[in-house]
């Protein structure tokens, strides 16, 4: 790796949106955060998509401003994708110290790695699959098939009041465990069927918010998938089949730039 670029004296910076497979300077217009002009700075066959700013991060306490910035960042990535094909997206608020001359220096330092990543995600996109299960249907299925649970239910009916209360608690625990096992099992099953149709797949933890539509359902699994454009049909079919099963719902969003597959890598 070459020496780190020298820190620019006059406090200039470049806000980074993404890296693209395109070796020329292009002006994308004033589509950036705070209406800044977004353009590419190339280094051989790749380029960084940036806007010029002060060498300080974007900070705000105002919700609306923050939303605006975040959505704009995403919009610029979308536009870059439209124009240049697949991109390597940056996380929000990555600002490099320096000016346009600084950029080719650091792109050059990681050139092979970045180039390889771009090739890896070419003609692919990220999609997010969330599978929800209706609690009632889940419980019905579990109760039907679990002898132990049925027995506990019978015991509750025949027991005296005190004993019945304890058995009820026991029953509730068993049901909770059974639901967990069923959900884990389903997650594995769905996961492997989906995996067969994607290049890469990652299980994600529960997102910060779930759309109201699914509030009463149990989230079985959230998967980020890197999917080849030509395999999208096949994946859709698998998801349709799961979505059509009684008591299940699939939420499918995308295409996204491959955020999860350039996973907080240092550049």
Contact footprint for other proteins (CB under 8 A):
4-5, 13, 16, 18-19, 55-61, 63, 65-67, 69-71, 73-74, 88-98, 102, 106, 127-128, 207-209, 211, 236, 239-240, 243, 250-257, 259-260, 262-267
- Residue 170 or 206: the one with the smaller Cβ distance to other proteins is 206
Least distance to other proteins from the beta carbon of 235, Å? 9
β-pairing, 12-20 vs 27-29, is unpaired
Least distance to other proteins from the beta carbon of 238, Å? 9
Least distance to other proteins from the beta carbon of 198, Å? 13
Query: Rounded to 5 degrees, what angle do the CA atoms 169, 173, 179 make?
Result: 140
- Residue 46 or 175: the one with the smaller Cβ distance to other proteins is 46
- Residue 175 or 235: the one with the smaller Cβ distance to other proteins is 235
- Residue 8 or 153: the one with the smaller Cβ distance to other proteins is 8
Contacts of 62 (CB under 8 A, 6+ apart): none
CA 121 – CA 102 distance, rounded (Å): 26
Q: Report yes or no: 115 and 45 within 8 Å, Cβ to Cβ.
A: yes
In order, the DSSP letters of 187-219 are: HHHHHHHHHTT-SEEEEEPPPS---GGGTTEEE
Tokens linked to 120: 């890896």
- Residue 103 buriedness (CB in 10 A; 0-12 / 13-18 / 19+): buried
Least distance to other proteins from the beta carbon of 32, Å? 14
Least distance to other proteins from the beta carbon of 190, Å? 14
- Residue 175 or 262: the one with the smaller Cβ distance to other proteins is 262
Across the strands, what pairs with 14?
Answer: 52, 96
């Amino acid at each position: 790796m070459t020496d780190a670029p020298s820190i620019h004296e006059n406090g200039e910076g470049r806000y980074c949106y993404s890296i693209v497979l395109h070796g020329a300077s292009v002006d994308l217009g004033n589509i950036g955060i705070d209406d800044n002009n977004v353009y590419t700075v190339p280094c051989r066959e790749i380029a960084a998509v940036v806007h010029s700013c002060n060498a300080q991060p974007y900070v705000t306490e105002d919700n609306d401003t923050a939303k605006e910035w975040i959505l704009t960042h995403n919009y610029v990535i979308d536009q870059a994708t439209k124009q240049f094909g697949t991109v390597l997206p940056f996380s929000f608020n990555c600002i490099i110290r320096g000016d346009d001359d600084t950029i080719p220096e650091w792109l050059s330092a990681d050139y092979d790695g970045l180039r390889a990543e771009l090739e890896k995600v070419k003609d692919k996109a990220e999609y997010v699959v969330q599978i929800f299960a209706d609690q009632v249907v889940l419980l019905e299925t579990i109760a039907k098939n679990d002898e132990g649970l049925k027995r506990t239910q019978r015991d509750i009916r025949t027991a005296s009041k005190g004993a019945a209360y304890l058995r009820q608690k026991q029953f509730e625990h068993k049901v909770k465990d059974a639901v967990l096992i069923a959900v884990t099992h389903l997650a594995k099953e769905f996961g492997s069927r989906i995996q067969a149709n994607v290049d890469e797949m990652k299980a994600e933890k529960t997102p910060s918010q779930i759309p109201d539509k699914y509030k009463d359902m149990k989230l079985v699994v959230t998967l980020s998938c890197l999917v080849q454009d030509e395999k999208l049909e096949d994946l859709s079919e698998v998801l349709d089949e799961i979505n059509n099963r009684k008591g299940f719902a699939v939420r499918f969003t995308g295409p996204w730039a491959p955020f999860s597959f350039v996973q907080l890598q240092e550049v």
